Structure 1
Amino acid sequence: MIKLLIRYINLMVATILVLVLLSFLLPFFFPGDLLTNISGITPQSEQQRIALEQAFKLDQSIFQQFFLYIENLLSGNWGVSSVTQLNLTDEIMLALPATLELVMYSLIVATFIGIPIGFLSGLKHHNPIDFSVVTFSIVGYSFPVFWLALIFIITFCLQLQWLPISGRIDLLFEVQHQTGFILIDIFLSDIGDTKAAYIDAIRHAILPTIAVATITTALFIRFSRRSVIDVMQKDYIIAAKSRGFTQSQIFLKHGFKNALIPILPLLALQLSTLITNVMIIETIFSWPGIGNLLIQAIYQQDYPAIRVGMLVVALIVLVLTISLEYVSRAFDKTKDDKERAAF
């Protein structure tokens, strides 16, 4: 187990170094002035240009510039936006919780809907229930997330007017930013009607969550269904059936846990797709997350914000993916060790 952990830590560290190197090199490929691309500041005089070049070590070797970049990242000095002139560390920390919040909502919905339905479909293999579930999963996965979001806006926001069209909460509620997670901030804020604020925040989150969770749920259904079908064909399951146990007893005692284990690495591979879909949805629903920040930075050619934003997103995907992969491998190894000991 320790060797496996060390191996994954080494993999994570090596990949992070590659991502940081690519992020460091991005300003050299952006159009425009290299100094402005790196610092976010347009020099107004020759003296200011010289001072900025010395501050970012542009007058020294590229290796010294790279080490300075790593030092700034570790110290939280991520530069300033070339458009707003605001500290990028603060802007990213403001936007990141909103993105993680939407990812968490979508994962919760997809997990508690997709996996049970997939298990049911796998247990009812090749009957009308299974065919219906498979059809839903194919249709749900085939919808482009931006198209689905636009359909939701047209139907539930513009025509039926049931739900708000954008944002995380109505501007009438003055919720102080403390953690960045809106439900927690409502609890911590000193506002008059907390219940109304919670209801409004939930209403704002419904459509973005469903738009992202539809595709993720379809994937979870397919993965869990396939896993249950494979597990229920194992020799020890067939042996349990021959002893007279019912399918429900066999699945709850032997199949459920074993069916979950192969799902984890598959889910890890889909994290990048999930976060990409969340970033797209943020733009459509004006959800103030890091995806919306990145899109605005691209429109405004805010190259320092693009560089830092892309690095943060890549690191989040990397850490979550490798962590899930490690957990799944650890479960597999523990299971194999138990089977060997029993044998």
Structure 2
Amino acid sequence: MIFSLARRLFLIVLTLFILSFVSYHILLRDPLNQELLTAHFHLGYFSYIRDVLQGNLGISYNGGESLLTLILTVLPPTVELCITAILLALLLGIPLGLIGAWNHQNILGKSIHAVSSLGLSVPVFWIAPLLLYFAALYHWEIAAVGQFNLLYEIKTVTGFALIDVWFMEQPYRIKVIQNVLQHLILPTLVLMISPTMEMTRLVQQRAEFLMRENFVKVAATRGWSKFKIMRKLVLRNTLPLIVPQFPRIFTLVMAHCMLIENVFGWPGIGRWLIDALAQEDYNAISASIMVIGLLIIAVNQLSDLVAFLFDPLHRKGWYAR
């Protein structure tokens, strides 16, 4: 176990070093940051790391605001959108995968498998403007851009609009909650396509494998219902294997979210990063890459921790050499 822990720590440190080095190299592309290059390259790098550890990410050239303050403003909306899409993908993808596995020999199961494989190749940057166009054309209430209507003032407490709106004391709070949800539905529907299809495919493949096992066949011969077999045998042995796949799914959703934020006017870090690229704000580009990388690393480690606690096979792997 000590060997596995040391190996993981080494990989984390190596990943952080590569991430910080790439971020530092981007920072040096700005002529104004050439002062970081002292007599030796590594001295400037160590100075940069010291500032990052102290929370000093510099200032944005577009307005001169603190980059740390800006990132804490634009990161929560992106995380909120990603988490909402993943939760809906779990609620929809797991039942679809189980239904497809149980009916894998008929047209229903084969159709679910085909749709889940095809859905992974759907370009969200094409679906997003198309869906927004039809929503506006047919006057859907969810045809809205932004995080909420600017007529409402939501005091920032956590940065997540779905949470901050509950701290409001105005008499029209229910109306504000409805407005926040209306703005959230459309980008969430677009963003949940890929994770739903991926979740369906993973669950269906695992469930079909389990249904060929002897312990499932024995349960069927004992008169267990389909629902009981799926709930007690298939589902319990499927969910633990989804947890290690969560970082990859989160990274996929994060990338798609950054693509569609401009379409829906979502005030997230993806839209902010694209604006920084257009303005050649290397300070903002460097800081955003560092923060996004740290977020993905944190999600990966959290996923490993959850798998270690709830998956015996994963926990057993810690003792393997």
Identify whether the pair has TM-score above 0.5, normalized to the shorter chain. yes
How far off its partner does 1:191 sit?
3.3
1:324 is aligned, of 277, 299, 303, to: 303
CA distance in 1, matches of 2:155, 2:227: 50
Conserved 8 A contact 2:147-2:266: yes
Per-residue CA deviations over 1:254-297 (Å, capped at 9, x if unaligned) read: 22111122222233323221100011121211100100110110
Conserved 8 A contact 1:268-1:321: yes
Report the counterpart of residue 26 of structure 2 in structure 1. 26
CA distance in 2, matches of 1:194, 1:129: 44
Matched, 1:70 2:68: no
What letter matches 1:25 in structure 2? H
Conserved 8 A contact 1:37-1:303: no
What letter matches 2:297 in structure 1? L
Matched, 1:240 2:219: yes
**Residue identity (%):** 29
How far off its partner does 1:211 sit?
0.4
* TM-score, normalised with respect to structure 2: 0.90
What letter matches 1:130 in structure 2? G
Conserved 8 A contact 2:309-2:315: no
Conserved 8 A contact 1:168-1:201: yes
What letter matches 2:132 in structure 1? I
CA distance in 1, matches of 2:70, 2:120: 33
Q: Secondary structure at the match of 1:270?
A: helix
1:96 is aligned, of 63, 75, 94, to: 75
Report the counterpart of residue 12 of structure 1 in structure 2. 12
CA distance in 2, matches of 1:158, 1:72: 50
Q: Secondary structure at the match of 1:142?
A: coil
Per-residue CA deviations over 1:26-68 (Å, capped at 9, x if unaligned) read: 233x3x51xx247xxxxxxxxxxxxxx3xx4x33422221121
Cα pair distance change 1:296/1:163, threshold 3 Å: same
Per-residue CA deviations over 1:56-94 (Å, capped at 9, x if unaligned) read: 4x3342222112111111111100111221110000000
Cα pair distance change 1:177/1:296, threshold 3 Å: same
What letter matches 1:206 in structure 2? I
Conserved 8 A contact 2:57-2:67: yes
1:179-194 paired onto structure 2 within 5 Å: 179-194=158-173
What letter matches 1:84 in structure 2? G
1:112-123 paired onto structure 2 within 5 Å: 112-123=91-102
2:127 is aligned, of 148, 160, 172, to: 148
**Larger-Rg structure:** 1
Conserved 8 A contact 1:227-1:259: yes
How far off its partner does 1:309 sit?
0.5
1:1-343 paired onto structure 2 within 5 Å: 4-5=4-5, 7-28=7-28, 30=29, 32-33=30-31, 36-37=32-33, 53=35, 56=36, 58-328=37-307, 331-334=310-313
CA distance in 2, matches of 1:335, 1:96: 31
CA distance in 1, matches of 2:314, 2:288: 39
CA distance in 2, matches of 1:336, 1:74: 32
Gaps (5+ residues) in structure 2?
317-321
Conserved 8 A contact 1:175-1:191: no
CA distance in 1, matches of 2:282, 2:17: 21
Per-residue CA deviations over 1:142-176 (Å, capped at 9, x if unaligned) read: 32001110111100124434324310010110112
Report the counterpart of residue 46 of structure 1 in structure 2. none
Report the counterpart of residue 319 of structure 2 in structure 1. none
CA distance in 2, matches of 1:162, 1:3: 56
Cα pair distance change 1:336/1:279, threshold 3 Å: closer
CA distance in 2, matches of 1:140, 1:241: 33
RMSD: 2.2
How far off its partner does 1:311 sit?
1.3
Conserved 8 A contact 1:294-1:305: yes
CA distance in 2, matches of 1:176, 1:244: 57
CA distance in 2, matches of 1:250, 1:223: 18
What letter matches 1:238 in structure 2? K
Per-residue CA deviations over 1:117-142 (Å, capped at 9, x if unaligned) read: 11111122122321332243234323
The worse-fitting range, judged by mean Cα deviation, of 125-134 and 324-333 is 324-333
How far off its partner does 1:336 sit?
8.1
CA distance in 2, matches of 1:170, 1:331: 42
* TM-score, normalised with respect to structure 1: 0.85
Conserved 8 A contact 1:124-1:130: yes
How far off its partner does 1:20 sit?
1.0
Cα pair distance change 1:16/1:336, threshold 3 Å: closer
What letter matches 1:22 in structure 2? V
Cα pair distance change 1:93/1:252, threshold 3 Å: same
Cα pair distance change 1:157/1:139, threshold 3 Å: farther
What letter matches 1:253 in structure 2? K
